[in-house]
Structure 1
Amino acid sequence: MKITAGVSALAGGVLAAGLAMAPAGATGTAAAGAGKAGCVSGTLTFDAVDSETKGKPTVTSAARNANWELWGKATASGPETRLAAGLTSHRDGTFSACNTTGKPMAQLRVKFLSSSTKMWRVVSDARTLQEYAFFSAPRPGAAAGQSLGTVKVPADMALAWKAVDTTNKLWWKRGNTRTPCWTRNESAGKCVQLTYVWKNDGGRFVSRWDGGNGYVYLGGLDARSQHLILHEAGHFLMGRLYDGRYPRVTNCNPHPMDKRSSDTCALWEGFPDAVSAYVMGDRRYVHGDSSFVDFDKPKGWQTGDQVEGRVVGALLDLWAKGGPDGGNWDRTIDAIATSRPGTFRDYWLVARPAAGLPVTGQARSIIEKHTIRY
């Protein structure tokens, strides 16, 4: 959560599909490819600890909207060629990788990558930007009905695919339908890619978003928490909403949820906290060790808009079903992109009125409940 001072190998035709709402499902489902010569189908899953599911150490999940490539050899001893590319299903992680080149192959195998289209990826190093990848076992190229069944991501890479899958949740709720990118500030063909840098290092590094290169750095074990992944992705989203021209943030290391830091820090860290809770559909921030902060139970918290947790609670109530903002955050997303507020005060007194969002009645009662008064 600390702040310091954005290529998959998919073919261009596949990349364009479905980006206005969410990355599309696979170019064909596993069922669609079953029985066809030159097709390899299955379901991609990963086993990982889920901090949100306390008491259940390992959870098996589908790897949705994950990039795959089909590779083949014309002869057993010949060179290997990439034949096709696509995505696992956005519903259940199924895939059907088919040789559509018309060239017969002696051998086929599927390569899986820790990325989704060109919109987000997990890499092992910020210099090389190398994605994690692995191959399925090879299969005969001409045989029909080649189902791989369930394909498991190798255990030492599983959290990379967990970050890829979790990011779907933010993409689906990102509040931008004007362009096929993360925010309206970006245009088609110029989308900025969300890059996570993650290593299976046992948790020696602190998770953070780097404002210099725009990358998210995930500590090895921090990726067990979906909230933490989404919090750091929330920093990336905020950076894109500000079009890279974000305000100077002060007194933000450390930044406790329950105590005053600064008005700039409370918004800059509070908004990503609210992102993770809003996207997850709850009112918490869950750490990698399964401990959590409940924004509905601010017992003993300090007061005012310099307290990160107070800002989070106010934002979540404003966006809540039955709340003054229409039950979602879409107009706040537009307001931030337009006004780029530096503090919650700026958001309240400038950005909201400019966006036509209410600051009286129910809205004012909400922020006052969270001890913020203007």
Structure 2
Amino acid sequence: MSQMLQRVLVAGTAVVLTVGGLSAPTPAIAQAPAASAAACNLRPNPHLAAANEWASCLSVATDLAKAPAIGETVPFTFEVTSQRSLSGIRIEADLPGNLRWVAAPAKLTAAKQTSISPQNYGAIDRASGTLNAAAGSTTRFAGMITAVEAGPAEIRVRALSSLPGSDGAAEDSTFLTVGDGKGTASITGITTAQTGTTAAVPAGTTLTPAKKGRSLTGDKSTESSTQATSCVTGGWFYIDNLGVTRAAVFETVEAWEGGTKLATGSVGSTGRYTLCFTGTHNVYARFVTSNYLWRVRQTGTNNDFAFVSGTVAVADGATVEIGNLQPADTTLMRGLHAFDSAYKAWLWHPGICWDPLDGTCRQLVINWANNSTDGTYYSPGSNDVHLAAADPDAPTTVIHEISHAMMDDIYEDAMPPSPSCNPHSIQGATSAGCAWVEGWAEWFPASVLNDPFYRWPNGASLNLETPTWGTAGWGTGDITEGRVAGALIDISDANNEGYWDVYGEGAPGNVWNTFVNHVANTFAQFWAWRVADGYNVADAGALSSVYQNTIDYTFRNPLGNYAELTRPTPTPHNYGYNTGSNYWSVVAVRSTGADYDLQLFDDRAQTVNLGTSTFGGTTIDFVAVDSNRRPLGDYYPNAFAYSGTGNYQVELAQGFDVLGAATSQAIAMGTNDVVTVRDVSLTAGVPVTFTVSGAGDAELFLMSSDAATPATWVRGRPSAVATASAAGAGGTETFTFTPTVTQWYGLVLINKAGSGTYTLSRS
């Protein structure tokens, strides 16, 4: 992208807000729009920073009065509070492998499980069960635990209602360190050294390289002179929460002798590095969670995490293999995982800097610690991301916060105003500003990870792509962040869903181009810039995908000739078509279990009503246009519900056929076919009989217009001059009509139900 492009600013007020992480899904907020968005904003969790947003209908608070020594038994309690009446809440209280339950809390059952998360020492002892909670209730759980092995430990407690589409999910952690029984006491909390040691990656481990793409400085970069002939080489890896050993790509790696740095470079996409220097040295490698574009630093100290290897002797001109290494302290693996998630975000986004139009790159700063409760949020005031201890387990969450930092950078520190955004939830309606800021930050990780689910570290997940009109528990429109995220996903991806997602242009693509070149305070402003940029906003394209997500920017669903559409309950639904022949045309709607009506407008804004059909019950409504007289042009049908719910069919029959005198035609109609039309030329005073027969349930209508009265050139079903509709399924419908005017009439055949071939005749 050209660096010459200038970003266009939308007038707005810069705000200093804490843009926070998402709590688990809270559809109950959306289901009760009259209630405040804070209806499920529970009492503050004492283990969470005040800046953390909290919108779940559940909360968990843990309490450990004392850290046990090896073999010592101590009480552990936690409380689950539910703002709403919920049944079947899943409770999981996990002890890592160096702790175990002596007595699980009442109504919970303890069972040991293998764990692949590195900080769990290969196993967890989980006490689990279900809870039925009354609104506003707090349930206390008390058990006894003991320590079986020395080392740091994280006790995690989760409360999860049915997901996705739940009333909430919540989690809390308690951190402690079990002493070794040899002079080191057990303490609450985890002490983290700024510089840690490394351990060899076990032999036989599968090493997973990163997706290879752009390089910051090259896979084997150094700052050594061209005369450097002595080298160390090796690999640097971490273990993610799924137990996969991955390359720690683009972390800084340095070669040191004592207090002297000999060379520096970065870890390559395969996890390998080579550093070269001159002379003979006793060398150790130092790995740092930083490069010039992003860093992960320890919460509270603002220092990067660093790890050092053992020392190897390197003779002048020799290359020595240090080996494949990983952090010795498994509780720090998450920090490297957070760093790797930033790499994935950087690799996916266009350009080198997070703001690709900025000549100087702002470094992305991520604060994390293995015992951090300061999260999850991005702070525009200090331009840094804050993560809680378990957040790196969910790259979606990490990249969500990174995307806030990126927006703030690209928008030149003018984050959009975001009223009603604390707390917020994906499904709940808040404000246009909040929905844009958060919706963008949900689209970005979905695109980076090619995963339409938002995933929380506590195991909750929510599909952003499949919800549409009528999805329970979701707010609607561009004031609901999940709808904005879904719209961006559906514009970008090729995975199209019913009923309206018919488009996909790829990502980053045009969505990114409009975002990076303009500052928008709302999704509506973003859409206006997209229009100005000349990108697809057609009814049959991006506008349809936006409508799929309940955002209606004057979408008019195109109707193709004899291409019937099946749609859910109209909210209402707006359509569009163009007449292309000087014949009669008809639009009809059919529902088998509801009363849906139809009106036809002359303009896209739907201010000029041309005709209406509002029969009661399941009677099929239609509106016909006589293009023998009315000029060809565009029309905008509107289907709306009078009563009932359920799917319906809508079909346009654009006339091109004539039913001549004393002739018959075979017309095949499937179960979804609704209507067909024929032009018939009738002579004043000459009676004519029309008949239709077949296996289905047919209805027959004759439409007429007056050359001197343009208002009659569009006719609803009530204006039919002749009708036959009482015979029922398999019956023959017929009527005789004597015209008073010689002209072209419209003969409308309705397929009320069934399928098969109708015989339409004129005599």
Q: Deviations over 1:202-244 (max 9, x none)?
A: x523210001011000111111111111111111111122111
Q: Deviations over 1:41-65 (max 9, x none)?
A: 2221112314xxxxxxx33211111
Q: Deviations over 1:154-194 (max 9, x none)?
A: 31321111111121211122123xxx31223310xx21000
Percentage of pairs with the same residue:
27
Match of 1:307? 480
The answer to whether the 8 A contact 1:121-1:193 is kept is yes
Match of 1:64? 249
* Correspondence 1:146 to 2:320: yes
* Correspondence 1:44 to 2:62: no
Structure 2: gaps (5+ residues)? 1-18, 22-50, 53-212, 223-227, 496-501, 554-763
Q: TM-score, normalised on structure 2?
A: 0.41
Structure 1: gaps (5+ residues)? 6-19, 30-35, 51-57, 73-78
The answer to whether the 8 A contact 1:24-1:89 is kept is no
Match of 1:164? 339
The answer to whether the 8 A contact 2:237-2:247 is kept is yes
Q: Give me the whole-angstrom Cα distance separating, in 1, the residues matched to 2:533 and 2:327.
A: 44
| One-letter amino acid of the counterpart of residue 183, structure 1 | D
The answer to whether the 8 A contact 2:503-2:545 is kept is no
Q: Deviations over 1:75-109 (max 9, x none)?
A: xxxx531010001112x11111222xx2332x101
3-state DSSP of counterpart to 1:118: coil
3-state DSSP of counterpart to 2:286: strand
Aligned with residue 243 of structure 1, among 412, 419, 422: 412
The answer to whether the 8 A contact 1:241-1:333 is kept is no
Match of 1:17? none
Q: Give me the whole-angstrom Cα distance separating, in 2, the residues matched to 1:141 and 1:147.
A: 10
3-state DSSP of counterpart to 2:487: helix
Q: Give me the whole-angstrom Cα distance separating, in 2, the residues matched to 1:183 and 1:321.
A: 27
Stretch moving more, 152-161 or 364-373: 152-161
Q: Quick one: higher RCO (CA 8 Å, sep 6+), 1 or 2?
A: 1
Superposition deviation, residue 22 in structure 1: 3.9
The answer to whether the 8 A contact 1:198-1:219 is kept is yes
Match of 2:625? none
Aligned with residue 219 of structure 2, among 26, 30, 51: 26
Aligned with residue 182 of structure 1, among 340, 348, 354: 354
Match of 2:449? 280
- Aligned positions of 1:56-135 closer than 5 A: 58-72=243-257, 79-90=258-269, 92-99=270-277, 102-105=278-281, 107-115=282-290, 117-125=291-299, 129-135=302-308
Q: Deviations over 1:237-271 (max 9, x none)?
A: 11122111222111011111112011111110110
What is the root-mean-square deviation in Å for CA atoms of aligned residues? Answer: 2.3
3-state DSSP of counterpart to 2:378: strand
Stretch moving more, 234-243 or 319-328: 319-328
- Aligned positions of 1:197-276 closer than 5 A: 197-201=367-371, 204-276=373-445
Q: Aligned in 2, Cα 1:308/1:337: closer, same or farther, shift over 3 Å?
A: same
| One-letter amino acid of the counterpart of residue 481, structure 2 | E
| One-letter amino acid of the counterpart of residue 46, structure 1 | Y
Match of 2:518? 339
Q: Give me the whole-angstrom Cα distance separating, in 1, the residues matched to 2:456 and 2:230.
A: 45
Match of 1:55? none
Match of 2:101? none
Q: Give me the whole-angstrom Cα distance separating, in 2, the residues matched to 1:297 and 1:200.
A: 35
| One-letter amino acid of the counterpart of residue 424, structure 2 | H
| One-letter amino acid of the counterpart of residue 330, structure 1 | G
The answer to whether the 8 A contact 1:274-1:316 is kept is yes
Match of 1:2? 20
The answer to whether the 8 A contact 1:325-1:357 is kept is no
Q: Runs ≥4 in structure 1, deviation > 4 angstroms?
A: 322-325
| One-letter amino acid of the counterpart of residue 283, structure 2 | L
Match of 1:15? none
The answer to whether the 8 A contact 2:312-2:322 is kept is no
| One-letter amino acid of the counterpart of residue 64, structure 1 | V
Give the structure with the larger strand fraction.
2
The answer to whether the 8 A contact 1:231-1:273 is kept is yes
Q: Give me the whole-angstrom Cα distance separating, in 1, the residues matched to 2:409 and 2:215.
A: 18
Superposition deviation, residue 290 in structure 1: 2.3
Q: Give me the whole-angstrom Cα distance separating, in 1, the residues matched to 2:322 and 2:358.
A: 39
| One-letter amino acid of the counterpart of residue 490, structure 2 | D
3-state DSSP of counterpart to 1:95: strand
Q: Give me the whole-angstrom Cα distance separating, in 2, the residues matched to 1:123 and 1:111.
A: 15
Q: Give me the whole-angstrom Cα distance separating, in 1, the residues matched to 2:415 and 2:533.
A: 19
Q: TM-score, normalised on structure 1?
A: 0.82
| One-letter amino acid of the counterpart of residue 226, structure 1 | P
Superposition deviation, residue 331 in structure 1: 2.7
| One-letter amino acid of the counterpart of residue 2, structure 1 | G
The answer to whether the 8 A contact 1:25-1:65 is kept is no
